[in-house]
Chains A and B, each alone.
Chain A
Amino acid sequence: MSILVDEKTKVIVQGITGRDGSFHAKTMIDYGTKVVAGATPGKGGTECVGVPVFDSVREAREATGANASIAYVPYSFAADAVHEAFDAGVELVVCITEGIPTSEVVKIYSKMKSLGVRMIGPNCPGIISPGKCKVGIMPAQIHTRGNVGVVSRSGTLTYEVVNQLTKAGLGQSTCIGIGGDPIIGTNFIDTLKLFQADPETKAIVLIGEIGGTDEEEAAEFIKSEIRKPVVGFVAGQTAPPGKRMGHAGAIVSGGTGTAAEKIAAFKKSGIAVADIPSQISGLVASLMK
Chain B
Amino acid sequence: MNIHEYQAKEIFARYGIPVPPGKVAASPAEAGKIARDLGKPVVVKAQVHVGGRGKAGGIKFGKTPEEAEKVAGQVLGMSIKGLTVKKVLVTTSVEVASESYLGLVTDRKAKRPVFMASPAGGVDIEEVARTTPEKIFKMHVDPCTGLLPYQARFLAGRLEKDPKLQSQIASIAHKLWKVFWETDCSLAEINPLVKTPQGEVIALDAKINLDDNGLFRHAELEALREGENEHEKAAREMGLSYVKLDGSVGCCVNGAGLAMATMDLIKHYGGEPANFLDIGGSSSPDKVLTAMRIICSDPGVKAVFFNIFGGITRCDDVASGIVRALKEINIKVPIVIRLTGTNEEKAREILRSANLTATALMDEGVRQALQMAKGGVN
Chain A interface residues (CB < 8 Å from chain B): 20, 75-76, 99-103, 106-107, 109-110, 125, 137-139, 142, 152-160, 163, 180-183, 207, 209-210, 212-214, 217, 233, 235-240, 243-250, 254-255, 259, 275-278
Contacts and interface: CB of A to CB of B under 8 A. Distances in A.
- Residue among B143, B257, B273, B313 with max Cβ neighbours from chain A (10 Å): B257
B260 A239 contact: yes
Given A245-B256, A249-B108, 6 more contacts: A139-B311, A152-B257, A155-B257, A182-B106, A246-B241, A248-B212
A159 B266 CA distance: 19
B236 to A, nearest CB: 11
Nearest to A112: B111
Nearest to B269: A276
Contact of B273 (A139, A233, A238, A275): A238
B261 A277 contact: yes
A197 B335 CA distance: 47
Given A139-B341, A183-B106, A244-B212, A158 B310 contact: no
5 contacts: A102-B106, A102-B186, A212-B108, A243-B243, A245-B259
Interface in B120-158: 126, 142-144
A106 B109 CA distance: 11
B144 A110 contact: yes
Contacts of B126: 254-255
Given A160-B362, A240-B245, A276-B363, A103 B256 contact: no
B258 A154 contact: yes
Contacts of A20: 282, 312
Nearest to A109: B111
Interface of B: 106, 108-109, 111-113, 126, 142-144, 181, 184, 186, 211-214, 216-217, 241, 243, 245, 253-261, 263-268, 273, 276, 278, 281-282, 309-313, 340-342, 362-363
Contacts of B245: 238, 240
B216 A102 contact: no
A107 B181 CA distance: 11
A207 B184 CA distance: 29
The dominant DSSP class at the A interface is loop
A156 B254 contact: yes
A237 B245 CA distance: 13
- Residue among B109, B126, B342 with max Cβ neighbours from chain A (10 Å): B109
A161 to B, nearest CB: 9
A59 to B, nearest CB: 27
Contacts of A159: 309, 311, 341
A110 B267 contact: no
A20 B265 CA distance: 32
